[in-house]
Chains A and B, each alone.
Chain A
């Protein structure tokens, strides 16, 4: 009996080894490898595939490594395991072994001669054992293969993520080094943002996440199929951009160049708009001599300045600034390898009359310098000192309302609230005395060539000069006739003088344009760098 059992065992083992080595192992191996490879497809572009994630709110396809690579690897592993299990249980066990255990032919299922039936019965356990051994061997082999595959996939994923981190870090570092802080120039928004909305140059769709990330490290593929560069250093900033908050168009290159915000502050009719027109003309005139180069950031800015100049040429003056908050006039200034995007704000005088309206001028929070337009003729003390004939001249010059001291007080009070006391103290303040042509016709108000600050104190604006000295560590004075600098037959010297205030503020941002300032004033220190705008909300300091 023991010998019979031993023979049966030997027979079973021998048949099992034979079935495993000569049939089942190779069959399972071919099936598992085939299923693994098939799961890594389709690989022909244009073929439909349910596993591919659809394009979501961001109109870009996910990078392969970010999602589909893991899905494909998982599908491949699962397909290999599934096909081995199905073949073992479905074909070998449920069909072949079952038929043999019942004495039937494994291929056809028919019975036959009793000797053949006995033979099938004898080799049935060995066949089942061989199939199980083959399946186990192939499974072990595929476990090893897929472990190595997952290791390689992990390395590939890590390399991709590291690439994203490096590229994003390089972009961020570049922006930090260049002190690029993007802000919206449009009224009602003025909000800072970390990443602008980029438009696909092919289909014009808005991409809100065009940076190294899950949609790609170096480039994103738009839903239209076009490849778009996602790295600032690789040329992303050449694309058309929009503000992510208000969706209005921004100048190209806003993410590459440092933005310098310069509000021009003054009462109604103090000559702010004409001063800006003169300064812009002066900036262009200076640029015409060589470096630096000044250009309009957008077509809208060019159109606005052309309209302003044509108005000045026909009427000799400009209408009072209307509307609510101002849209910044944007100029691109390039000097050697440094570039600046200059935002010049021209708020209407009424917006600085009271605390509430001044507080709505949110761009003051991130100003890099301020130009204060001082209309001396609007000061009551100055006016009281004028004779009747001089008073007529002053009236003809449309003096501003209210006076410079009152405007300055409202403005500085709210500037501290918006920008912070520390930042306010370090802001360079360019004080520009306007309407110089009229002042020069009044003997007692004739503006000296130098020492404009002390002169202002002597004519009755000593509280203003004293307070300026107290609140603003860096300040300089100019006197400009914007009337002479604009319109028909403008004076180049006046244009350049008007531009000097802007050059001086730009010099404080690291643009080496100090040489464009007059020789006599070059000894004056350039304005220091200004601390970055604070991120905390503005506190309500109003008293009830």
Chain B
């Protein structure tokens, strides 16, 4: 069976980094979205 080479190991570490970046991007986007939503709601409640 073929084995993992240093090249593949390096590539997979890069892909893992990309996955972490993707998670952080989604987390960040959701946080910003949630913050904006909360801000709008808060402004609406305070406005009343």
Q: Hey, which bits of chain A sit against chain B, CB under 8 A? A: 33, 36-37, 40-50, 52-55, 61, 63-65, 68-69, 72-73, 76, 141, 144-146, 148-149, 152-153, 156, 221, 225
**What chain A residues lie within 8 Å of B23 (beta carbons)?**
33, 145
Q: Which of B1-38 contact A (CB under 8 A)?
A: 1-16, 18-19, 21-23, 25-26, 29-30
B19 to chain A, nearest CB (A): 6
Known: A61-B8, A221-B5. 12 other contacts (CB 8 A): A33-B23, A42-B4, A45-B9, A48-B1, A52-B4, A64-B8, A64-B11, A69-B15, A141-B26, A144-B26, A149-B22, A153-B15
Query: Would A49 and B4 be within 8 Å (CB), given that A33-B23, A40-B15, A43-B12 are in contact?
Result: yes
**What chain B residues lie within 8 Å of A141 (beta carbons)?**
26, 30
* A64–B2 CA distance with the chains assembled, in angstroms: 14
Q: List 11 A-B contacts (CB under 8 A).
A: A40-B15, A40-B16, A48-B1, A48-B2, A49-B3, A49-B8, A61-B7, A65-B11, A148-B25, A148-B26, A152-B18
Q: Are B21 and A43 in contact (CB under 8 A)?
A: no
Q: Hey, which bits of chain B sit against chain A, CB under 8 A? A: 1-16, 18-19, 21-23, 25-26, 29-30
**What chain B residues lie within 8 Å of A64 (beta carbons)?**
7-8, 10-12, 14
* A44–B10 CA distance with the chains assembled, in angstroms: 9
Looking at the complex, which one of B6, B7, B26 makes contact with A145 (CB distance below 8 Å)? B26
**What chain B residues lie within 8 Å of A72 (beta carbons)?**
11-12, 15
* A156–B17 CA distance with the chains assembled, in angstroms: 12
Q: Are A149 and B18 in contact (CB under 8 A)?
A: yes
CB-nearest residue of chain B to A219: B7
CB-nearest residue of chain B to A47: B4
* A156–B7 CA distance with the chains assembled, in angstroms: 15
**What chain B residues lie within 8 Å of A42 (beta carbons)?**
4, 12
* A276–B12 CA distance with the chains assembled, in angstroms: 59
* A146–B18 CA distance with the chains assembled, in angstroms: 10
* A204–B6 CA distance with the chains assembled, in angstroms: 21
Query: Would A45 and B3 be within 8 Å (CB), given that A145-B22, A152-B21 are in contact?
Result: yes
B28 to chain A, nearest CB (A): 10
Looking at the complex, which one of B2, B5, B9 makes contact with A225 (CB distance below 8 Å)? B5
CB-nearest residue of chain A to B11: A64
* A49–B11 CA distance with the chains assembled, in angstroms: 14
Q: Are B5 and A45 in contact (CB under 8 A)?
A: yes
Q: Are A68 and B1 in contact (CB under 8 A)?
A: no
